[in-house]
Amino acid sequence: MMTDMLNLRAAQTTDCEALAGIHNEAWLGAYRGVLNGLDLQKLISRRSEPWWQGALARGVNIQILAVSETPAGYATFGPCRLKATGMEGEIYELYLKPEYQGLGFGRALFEHVRTTLANRSLSGLAIQVLSENEPARAFYRAMGGSRSGTSWYKIGSRRLEISIYTWPDRSHQTRAD
């Protein structure tokens, strides 16, 4: 997708530095105060430029959202790892730099990836989000997601709840007028 200001495209190896920066800024914005500072820094430092180069080399699906040619967000996605949800597609990560949040760019990236998954014949969509990340949970609810379950993730000594949101296949959705 391309407009005068917005470009949604597959990530390339030349994007690895930008991906690391987006991840860093988005995680600091989303998880500062939720995660222990040292744990947060460890998690962020794992996603350096070489990590992203390796991800692309392994064939990880990564879409970049660029605003006026500046990478502002990304999403990783593929087959659903949460078999109990009954969904076939999953967005593993969707992050924007904080200054691009709340402007409709997340919605554009979400819809683009959701359409990409449907075009690959992956019916339905699931997303996992840290339950304490209320802005992300509100975003997924606004996108029509239903909280369909929970899971747990351990970081350091903390056990954190994960909320699972799902969207059925669009062909099975009905709208009340």
- Does residue 82 form part of some domain? yes
pLDDT at 177: 29
Any idea what the CATH number is for the domain that residue 88 is in? 3.40.630.30
- Does residue 54 form part of some domain? yes
Joined tokens for residue 48: 């350096």
- Does residue 177 form part of some domain? no
- Does residue 1 form part of some domain? no
pLDDT at 37: 84
- Does residue 12 form part of some domain? yes
pLDDT at 171: 60
pLDDT at 155: 81
Number of domains in the chain: 1
Q: At what angle do helices 16-31 and 37-45 cross, to 10 degrees?
A: 160
Average pLDDT along the chain, 177 residues, taken 10 residues at a time: 79 97 94 84 92 97 96 98 96 97 96 96 96 95 96 86 92 44
- Does residue 111 form part of some domain? yes
Residue of 95, 31, 102, 28 lying closest to 64 (CA atoms): 95
- Does residue 45 form part of some domain? yes
Domain extent, residue 98, equals 6-172
Percent composition of the chain: helix, strand, coil (DSSP 3-state, to 5): 40, 35, 25
Element (H, E) at 82: none
Burial class of residue 17 in the structure, from the number of CB atoms within 10 Å of its CB (0-12 exposed, 13-18 middle, 19+ buried) = middle
pLDDT at 3: 53
- Does residue 63 form part of some domain? yes
Sorted by sequence, the CB contacts under 8 Å of residue 100 that are 6+ apart come out as 65, 67, 72, 73, 106
CA atoms within a 13 Å half-sphere pointing along the CA-CB vector of 171: 5
